Amino acid sequence: MIGAVIVAVLGAAGVVVAGFVLWQMLFAPAEGPRPPAPGDAFFVSPDSFAARAAAEGGEDAATEAAAYLAAQPTAVWLTPETYPTDSVTAAVEEILAEARAQDAVPVLAVYGLPDRDCGNFSAGGLDAADYPGWIDAIAAGLAAEPARSTVVILEPDALALDCDRPEVRTAQIADAASRLAAEDTFLYVDGGHSNWRSPREMATLIAEVAEAAPGALRGFATNVSNANSDADETAYARQLVGQLEAWGFDDLHAVIDTSRNGAPHTGSEWCNVPGLRVGVPSGTWGDEVIDANLWIKPPGESDGTCNGGPPAGAWWPEAAVELTRDVR
């Protein structure tokens, strides 16, 4: 008799639990898009240069380095040279689908501004007339995965670089931000880094974009392709946010590139600096100002034809080996 009662009670409890689970599935609100945060899983591209190099096989240090880097969540860079307007929508859709399969947050770096890099090692980009259409094509790809968070780093270095007619670049970036803005897209414009423009100078440029594209920005990205320390970049980001808040631009946040700052370098040299090491992986840390650290610049890809490197963006096995010397 007692056994029958226990069975009946357990059966009733099972019904209650099952009913609660069903209620959650049917009626509980799903977690909506939110900014990146420490502990998030970020997207690992199966088609990165590191992944391709690792797939070639081998037992040497270059293959080991490539395999290590291929496993790290790193931003996917969208350039018009690699992803032109007629194919970038499908490419973005594919990246987001792969990120969904990984249950991970994709990080995209959009890098196609007219007069990109002010004609330096990464020179290129689109004509002013063609740039908005390319941005619209990216936005169309992002719209294929609604209600899933996507991080977009919009035109790294573009604000901090001192090109001719900076007001034109600011307007182009603001227009791009407005075209990409969506509830599930978290946009970060260029924030320079702690060894470049002063916080007031950099905040002025960010404020111009924020004012021209109201509500579009989550914040700014610092240290992209550079190697300043976490401590220096954290202090710098806090200064930028403080200045922006003083001017009425509230609730802006930062992400910090830690892909190559494991052995911090604060000198004026930035291009293929010898002796660099990878920093802590994406999503290791963050706080109320810094949403998360990210790997934005893919380690192992050259900064340009300097210090013995190949053209900008090309895979450079020697650099990959040096960068991963302490972690593999």
How confident is the model over 165-191, as pLDDT tens digits?
788 999 999 999 999 999 999 999 999
Which pLDDT value is given to residue 212?
98
Q: Determine the pLDDT at residue 5.
A: 36
Q: Examine residue 313 and state whether it is found in any structural domain, yes or no.
A: yes
Together in a domain, 256 and 122 = yes
Annotated binding residues for substrate, written as ranges, equal 77, 193, 196, 226, 270, 297, 301
For 294, list phi and psi in degrees, rounded to 5.
-140, 155
Domain co-membership, 64 together with 18: no
Domain presence at residue 196: yes
- DSSP result, 78-115: E-TTTS-HHHHHHHHHHHHHHHHHHT-B-EEEE---TT
Q: From CA 142, how far away is CA 215, in angstroms rounded?
A: 18
Q: What is the CATH number of the domain that holds 246?
A: 3.20.20.40
- Catalytic residue annotation: 157, 303
**The token pair that represents 45 in the structure block:** 């591209």
Phi and psi at residue 141, in whole multiples of 5°? -65, -40
Q: Is the pLDDT of residue 145 over 60?
A: yes
For residues 3-20, average pLDDT: 39
Q: Provide the number of structural domains found in the chain.
A: 2
- Position 328 in a domain: no
The annotated binding site is made up of 77, 193, 196, 226, 270, 297, 301
Prediction pTM value: 0.89
**Is it the case that residue 155 has pLDDT exceeding 90?**
yes
pLDDT at 124: 81
Task: Determine the structural domain holding residue 295 and report its residue range.
Answer: 34-323
- Domain co-membership, 58 together with 38: yes
Q: What tens digit of pLDDT does each residue of 61-81 get? A: 999 999 999 999 999 999 999
- Amino acid 159: pLDDT: 95
Please provide the average confidence, as pLDDT, over all residues in the chain: 90
Residues 151 and 187 in one domain: yes
Number of residues in the chain: 328
| Structural domain includes residue 1 | yes
Pair (173, 70) in one structural domain: yes
CA distance to 207, 247, 264, per residue, from 211 (Å)? 6, 11, 34
